[in-house]
Amino acid sequence: MPDFYTLAIIILFVLAVSDLIVGVSNDAVNFLNSSIGSKVASRKVIMVVASLGIFAGATFSSGMMEVARSGVFDPGFFTFEQVIAIFLAVMLTDIILLDVFNTFGMPTSTTVSIVFELLGAAVMVATISVISNGESLVSLGNYINTTKAVAIISGIFLSIMFAFTIGFIVQRISRVLFSFQYDKSPVWLTTLWAGLALSALTYFLIIKGVKGASFVTEGFLTWVEQNTFILFAGSLASWVVVLSILNRFKVNSFKVVVLFGTFSLAMAFAGNDLVNFIGVPIAGLESSTTWKSAGVALESFNVGFLKAPVRTNSMLLLAAGTIMILTLWFSKKAQSVTETEVNLGRQSEGHERFQPNGFARWLVRNSYRMSGVVNKLLPEGLQQRIDNSYKTITPPANGASFDLIRASVNLTIASMLVALATSLKLPLSTTYVSFMVAMGASLADKAWGRDSAVYRVSGVLNVIGGWLATAIVAFTVAAVFALLIVKFKLPVVGSLLLLAVALLYKTTRYHKSKAQKSESSVNEDLAVETPQRVSLVMHSVEETVRLSIDGFVNEDRAKIQLARQNFAKLKELNEDLQYELITSLKRSKSDQSAIKRFVRIFDLEQEVVTSVEGLVNSCSNYVENVHESLSQSEIDELVNLGLSFSDQFADTQSAKLPHASEPSLRIKKHQFLDLTDELIDGNISAIQHGVTPTKRAVVLFSIYFELRDLVGISHRLAKLANETVDVSEHKAEAPRTVNTV
């Protein structure tokens, strides 16, 4: 075999390992979010249950890889050489795409990504083949299975609307039945409800989880489909008996539902989605082996045999399952994706990750209006019953994001919808169903209150937008990669591999730094946290001001743009820090005088942002409007002023702020203020003598006064920040009174 194709198969399997890791990191949210969000058990217990589900799913997996082999394109129209190019393009694209989603904590569908990557790469290779053969582009329809792609696209929209609606309705009914004090509900109601949920999960496990196992015959599956009612009734009776016994031992029925649901979804994921990650390299290996034994010329060897189904080696499936389990335990990015969904559905208030947009505001505004109309149409008795169920919204215990009722609804409804779609051969995505059921249940639970709804809706819209982008980006990038691989082969494959490694390295570092920042962002001790917060703000202020003045002096639009971007980050940083301050105050045991100092710091940071915004806007507008250039003397004066300002802020770049009362700082402050006074007087004189144009005079005044304000505020901030530390240290060193007998 030529060296390129030997290396290609090796590369495909190396990429398969990487793809398993990034794929599990994203799909883990489907079966972890409900158990982790409700804290049904310790994280270790949850991970053990999910790991057992994955191992069982990998064991039972049929390994049927129709999607990778012939679900998207007709292999009968492609040669071995072309198929290898398609497979390499798909695997490289999949790793990069899923890793980007994981890095930013955004769930997406691995099924949709692999299908559209196959579609994009196959369309590109088929187009090249059609053109080189002198055929019409109309013949592309022979190469591509467009029906599959259309079915998946329609499945996306069905998943989004249908799952959200059903999740909302079932959660609303569940909450009316149990309210938030579900531990006070009648035992018979709890047992019956949990039995129904477990019966639905059992049916899901049979239809979706073990349908491809070697010991499950087609006859059995046919019987299940024809006798669904009997199976469900028998399962319900069995579960009610089991739960009744467990109740005597004080075992919470809802915990059983959530843990069993976690196992079921994990098993179904491993049993059915595993081939998304290893199907392509295994198809590549089979193509290589068959070509080698056929003894046919490379360019004329047709891979039509890929149409035939094949069962994957059990050891390969178990090895893949092991990698998935290890990823589940050790991947930080998997935790980030899970946190995104859990935070969007949490019952309590907290920091909102997503900023509101116009469409989200419109949706929320009109949803509240529509809700008012619907409430008026409901019978008064029913409306009263619903209102009573939500009168006392008890925060979930143990710091959970939501309670066991919602967690069990999330898992049960998602499982039922996926099982129903599977039995009807509808292409619904597990990711889309799981996410949208969770969001619908959150809305029904009034987790999206007036203070959080617009942020949560914006988050959901961002995630949905990411889903749609998955298809477009996967198709486009895979097509480009396939074109390059067909034309340049090994050099391009090597370059793309290096690109993938570099991106993985950079995203891992970025994710790690973001996680470290998040872990250290809120400190229980406000006195320790405050100097660090002030230093972060001051560092950002100095950098933004320096870029603004440089851009203004040199009429450099690029630097002005950087200054505006820096200011946006400063504003976001300030909002985050202020939220953290309020959150810290809620649990702070500081006295009132200390709390007032913290609130004064809050106020001064607001003033900082306002001053920086005024300066940035003045410089930006002047340069963007192409006003008259500065004179050389004005340039020299501003450069000198900028250096002096940076010198003022040099002492605030570390977490340990210097005391504003230090003599050297007081001298530097007065020198700076004297310098700005001289420049202000000079500007006044220039205006009076008609030397400085009006527009320029306005901007210069803005710069001088904003910088004066910033220096004054920085000293007050440093003083207040250090006062918090001084008081804290004084209390820590205070002698204790020892009682003696």
pLDDT tens track for 266-282: 887 776 666 667 777 77
Q: Out of 171-175, 348-352, 554-558, 595-599, which region has the weakest mean confidence (pLDDT)?
A: 348-352
Give the DSSP per-residue string, 610-658: HHHHHHHHHHHHHHHTTPPPPPHHHHHHHHHHHHHHHHHHGGGSSSSPP
Q: Which CATH class is domain 524-730?
A: mainly alpha
Instruction: Give the model's pLDDT for residue 192.
Output: 92
**Tokens standing for 595?**
């709390």
Q: Is the separation of the CB atoms in 9 and 288 below 8 Å?
A: yes
Say yes or no to pLDDT of 391 above 90: no
- Of the pLDDT bands very low, low, confident and very high (cuts 50, 70, 90), residue 156 is low
Where in the chain are the domains? 3-512, 524-730
* Contacting residues for 222 by C-beta, under 8 A, at least 6 apart: none
Dist. CA 410–CA 463, nearest whole Å: 18
Q: Is the separation of the CB atoms in 78 and 143 below 8 Å?
A: yes
- Of the pLDDT bands very low, low, confident and very high (cuts 50, 70, 90), residue 620 is very high
Phi, psi of 79 (to 5 degrees): -95, 170
Q: What is the three-class DSSP state of 79?
A: strand
Dist. CA 232–CA 666, nearest whole Å: 80
Residue 398, burial from CB neighbour count under 10 angstroms (0-12, 13-18, 19+):
exposed
Dist. CA 341–CA 106, nearest whole Å: 8
Q: Residue with structure tokens 């700005």?
A: 676
Q: What is the three-class DSSP state of 144?
A: strand
List the one residue out of 235, 146, 255 whose CA is nearest residue 195: 235
Instruction: Give the model's pLDDT for residue 236.
Output: 92
Interval 246-265 mean pLDDT: 90
Q: 144 forms bridges with which residues in the sheet?
A: 73
- Of the pLDDT bands very low, low, confident and very high (cuts 50, 70, 90), residue 321 is confident
Which tens digits make up the pLDDT trace of 471-498?
889 999 999 999 999 888 878 888 888 8
Instruction: Give the model's pLDDT for residue 615.
Output: 92
CB count, 10 Å around CB of 222? 10
Q: What is the three-class DSSP state of 73?
A: strand
CB count, 10 Å around CB of 394? 12
Instruction: Give the model's pLDDT for residue 430.
Output: 76
**Tokens standing for 232?**
């469900």
**Tokens standing for 307?**
């149409």
Say yes or no to pLDDT of 732 above 50: no
Which tens digits make up the pLDDT trace of 674-727?
888 888 888 898 888 888 888 888 999 999 999 988 888 888 877 777 766 554
Say yes or no to pLDDT of 524 above 50: no
Give the CA-trace dihedral at 66, 69, 72, 74, to 10 degrees.
-120
In whole angstroms, how large is the CA radius of gyration of the chain? 31
Say yes or no to pLDDT of 62 above 60: no
Interval 205-222 mean pLDDT: 68
Instruction: Give the model's pLDDT for residue 11.
Output: 81
Computed over every residue of the chain, the mean pLDDT equals 78
DSSP state of 402: S
Interval 627-652 mean pLDDT: 84
- Of the pLDDT bands very low, low, confident and very high (cuts 50, 70, 90), residue 547 is very high
Interval 85-98 mean pLDDT: 87
Which tens digits make up the pLDDT trace of 229-249?
888 899 999 999 999 999 888
**Tokens standing for 676?**
């700005």
**Tokens standing for 637?**
């004066």
Instruction: Give the model's pLDDT for residue 730.
Output: 47
Q: Is the pTM of this model over 0.85?
A: no
